[in-house]
Amino acid sequence: MSGFIDQIISKNLNTSVKSSQTISGGCINNAYKIETDKGLFFIKWNKKEIIDMFRTEEKGLKLLNNHSPVHSPKALSYGEIDNKSYLLTEWIEKGVQKPTFWESFGRNMARQHKVTWSHFGLDHDNYIGSLPQSNAQHKSWHSFFIEERLKPPLNLGASKGLIDTNIQHQFDILFNRLEELIPDEPPALLHGDLWSGNFMTNNDGKAAIFDPAVHYGHRETELAFTQLFGGFSPDFYSYYNQEYPLEPEFKERVDIHNLYPLLVHINLFGNSYLSGIIQTLRRFS
């Protein structure tokens, strides 16, 4: 493996590896912390067939690098060597939260969400976890949410026998109500997979976000997802709302937005997440 790492560093940074350390790369990839004369770097790698995931992640990181005030690892390169694919980024050193951590995080995420685009979606598809994520462009968020977010994992779950026809019928009813349930918003630059496992405290004591599933979407979907598994202080939402106030009754819509990540989790991890979907459908369909 050292030869593989050496080739990546030599090719992309024109230097050599002083030391490397295996670290946790999540449930999908392998990962290394690399020390060189030019600083510390992060490499995650997998079999060569996974290269498209790294290609789109690099593009997503570059969007965040260029347009978000929230720190994200600088994307440096992706590629294939020795029948393995890889993504090379800067290394983010862990730090201790400043007292203003949640204020800074909340306000900067609100500023990121003010970055907008002409359509909902993106100019390329990407992934959420290991699942393909369609970003076909729509002028309407409601049609984007139905066609590119809810229907693909719903159909995939049905093909696996995880979603029955009754649930599919309830989704059809919900689709017809979305315009009355969810207020219009301009497309917002979203991290796309923002939960407590995808942010950390950097060595400046501020938030850093990583492992994105970037697209331009409805900002409420981002904030709803942060609440699905916890880990965000109430101060985060308070300061966010000061910087970019949410439409009234956002809390009532959280469960609708979280149908997408729950459908993703059903397809990745099984139907233990189905009960949350059923409860939401009973409320709104």
What residue type is assigned to position 22 of the chain?
A: T
| List 37, 172, 193, 204, catalytic entry | 193
User: Which residue, 28, 94, 90, is CA-closest to 61?
Assistant: 90
Q: Within the chain, how many helices (H) and strands (E) appear?
A: 12, 11
The crossing angle, in degrees rounded to 10, of helices 259-269 and 250-257 is 30
What residue type is assigned to position 172 of the chain?
A: D
Q: How far is CA 144 from the centre of its chain?
A: 17
SS3 167: helix
Residue whose tokens read 């800074």: 104
The answer to whether residue 193 is catalytic is yes
Q: Which residues contact 259 (CB under 8 A, 6 or more apart)?
A: 150, 277, 280
The crossing angle, in degrees rounded to 10, of helices 259-269 and 219-228 is 50
Residue numbers annotated as active site: 193
